[in-house]
Amino acid sequence: MSEGIGVVGLYVRDQDEAVEFYVGKLGFKIHTDVRNGDYRWLTVQHPKQASFQLGLFKPQAPALDVATARTVQEIVAKGAMPPLVLVVEDCRAAHQRYAALGVEFTQEPQERYGAVDASFRDPSGNGWKMIEARPDAR
């Protein structure tokens, strides 16, 4: 039996917009996209991590009432959620590639703590830290 975390969810304001960003710009692949009325279960995967999914969920019923959903969207849009971390082989090259695709960076690549990192946000406001994998950690 295999155990572990399979899906980590992010709140996004628009799931189609999130697909354009995560699939069209970051190169993720759609894993699951099913609907039940107004509810949509949408997950994507990084092409090199088949066992892990990122859920792109709209804050809405049945999980949240209307007022709470609106508050959650506002908090996410302000960048208040903790950043996710994307590990890349070459941070500067990934920065150039993603910037050319329209990813808006909040921090250009910088060398610190023995690695190179940069920061960006998705269209909903979720923060990402992109970190170059250290050669000794690969």
Give how far the C-alpha of residue 98 lies from the chain's centroid of Cα atoms, to the nearest Å: 13
Domains along the sequence of the chain with CATH = 7-137 (3.10.180.10)
Span 79-100, pLDDT tens digits: 999 999 999 999 999 999 999 9
Which residues lie closer than 8 Å to 70 by C-beta, 6 or more apart?
A: none
Q: Which residues pair with residue 53 across a beta bridge? A: 7
Question: Strands of 127-132's sheet, edge to edge?
Answer: 84-88, 127-132, 115-121, 105-112
Per-residue pLDDT of the chain (138 residues; tens, 9 = 90+): 568 889 999 999 999 999 999 999 999 999 999 999 989 999 999 999 888 999 999 999 888 999 999 999 999 999 999 999 999 999 999 999 999 999 999 999 999 988 999 999 999 999 999 999 876 654
pTM of this structure? 0.91
Residue whose tokens read 């690549």: 109
CA–CA separation, 23 vs 38, rounded Å? 22
